[in-house]
Amino acid sequence: MNIVVIGWGGDGHAPSAAVRELLGGARRLAQQSGGQVIGAALGGAAKAATGMIEYGADRVLIVDHPALAELDAEAYAAAAHVVCDQAGDALVLVPGDRLGWEVAPRLAHRLAAGLVTDCLAVDWEGGRFVMTKPVYGGKAMAKLAARTATQVALVRARAMEPLEPQTGRAGDVEALNVNLSPGRVKLLERKQEETQGQVRLEDAPVVVSGGRGLGGPEPFRMLEEIAQLVGGAVGASLAAVDAGWISPQHQVGQTGKSVAPDLYIAVGISGASQHVAGMSNSKTIVAINKDPEAPIFRVAHIGVVGDYKEVLPAFVAELRKIKGA
């Protein structure tokens, strides 16, 4: 069975990180399941068609159209549908970004296909594709399979590994002519995230997050100070966001942002599964919490049992001393 990788975004000739990951995953799956890896280069990703071959696609179908300029999900679903019609029965992999969450259900509906969202893994087991996703706020994992021949998987960022690109790898690139209607939802304004000179949460090498245990909005200033000191960004748990202590754009978790920094410092965060689901892939996890029984210590690599009001000032002072800052 063929595997279709839906691609959008990217920077010029390079496919986006999400597309590179999906191509790597698709290539590995195709070795077991047989069939071709077909890339769908949609909208601005058209320029990355050759790049998609280099990262593992056997064939790339381009759909470019003015309706795809604004990341309109209806237009993208229609464009992806055109490519899927050419691919026959297939497993369709969709990047798990915000656009993907909107496109995948629309595409699945049009293909009358089973869709599993938020896949952490897609495996070939017993002659079919098996998709693993977190459920019940991350407290459990479910393995699902589609009963339909064509099936769609929305794959979470970093769930699959990209391959090393092979320059000059052979593959067909073909542009499809399509007629797409302009979207019914009109873009009025784009508000960029205020990162206050800091790095974006998703890209930050260090994330310092606060939760319910902080007790109010003021302590987040201390977290900001640490983040600035180490070139990181400030995150928060759902509880802190719900309490109105910090804006939702900082929320890390299953319903917030997924992060995987080199260092994640969780301050006053109990470690609800919902939160852990968004940060458990971090390389080093530090937890600071008064409660030695807090579930966050089960995922932490380094733990400090104590009151953050005592721990953090001393931590900052010592860090400044060592760094000579």
Partner 1 sequence: MHIAVCIKQILDPEISPRAFKIDPVRKAADPGTASLVIGPFDLNALEVAIQLKERHGGQVTALTLGSDKAKEALRRALAMGADQAVLIDETQVSAKEPSVTARVLAAAIRKLDPVDLVLTGRQSGEWDFGQVGALLAEELGMPFVPFVPRLDVAGNGLRLEREADGGVVVVEAPRPCVASVTNANDNVPRLPKVKDIMMANRKPITVYGPGELGLGAAEVGDEANRLEVLDLFIPEVKSECEFIEGEDGAEKGANLARKLVERKVI
Q: Which of 198, 228, 255, 281 binds partner 1 (CB under 8 A)?
A: 255
Q: Which of 13, 31, 141, 161 binds partner 1 (CB under 8 A)?
A: 141
- How many whole angstroms separate alpha carbon 197 and alpha carbon 206? 15
From the list 23-31, 84-92, 174-182, 305-313, the region that binds partner 1 by CB under 8 A is 305-313
For residues 79-108, which are near partner 1 according to CB under 8 A? 97-99, 101-102, 104-106, 108
From the list 30-38, 40-48, 144-152, 170-178, the region that binds partner 1 by CB under 8 A is 144-152
173 or 316: whose CB is closer to partner 1?
316
Q: Which of 13, 85, 143, 166 binds partner 1 (CB under 8 A)?
A: 143
Q: Which of 164, 189, 197, 218 binds partner 1 (CB under 8 A)?
A: 189
Binding to partner 1 by residue 31, rule CB under 8 A?
no
30 or 103: whose CB is closer to partner 1?
103
Binding to partner 1 by residue 181, rule CB under 8 A?
no
Which residues are within 8 A (CB) of 23 and not within 5 positions of it... i.e. 6 or more apart?
A: 5, 15, 37, 39, 52, 55, 56, 57, 162, 163
Contact assessment for residue 169 and residue 54, using Cβ atoms and an 8 Å cutoff: yes
Binding to partner 1 by residue 298, rule CB under 8 A?
yes
Long-range CB contacts (within 8 A, 24+) of 164-168: 165/51, 165/54, 165/55, 166/54, 167/54, 168/54
Residue 8's closest CA among 84, 63, 86? 63
> Is residue 236 within a helix (H) or strand (E), and if so which, with residue range?
strand 233-236
216 or 248: whose CB is closer to partner 1?
248
For strand 128-135 and strand 121-125, is the pairing parallel, antiparallel, or unpaired?
Answer: antiparallel
Contact assessment for residue 282 and residue 262, using Cβ atoms and an 8 Å cutoff: yes
- How many whole angstroms separate alpha carbon 99 and alpha carbon 78? 13
Residue 311's closest CA among 207, 201, 208? 208
Least distance CB 141 / partner 1 (angstroms):
5
Binding to partner 1 by residue 69, rule CB under 8 A?
no
From the list 44-52, 207-215, 216-224, 268-276, the region that binds partner 1 by CB under 8 A is 268-276
Binding to partner 1 by residue 110, rule CB under 8 A?
yes
Q: Is the dihedral of CA 15, 233, 235, 263 positive or negative?
A: positive
83 or 146: whose CB is closer to partner 1?
146
From the list 60-68, 83-91, 167-175, 316-324, the region that binds partner 1 by CB under 8 A is 316-324
Cα 265 to Cα 33, 217, 221, 278, distances in angstroms:
41, 17, 15, 13
37 or 236: whose CB is closer to partner 1?
236
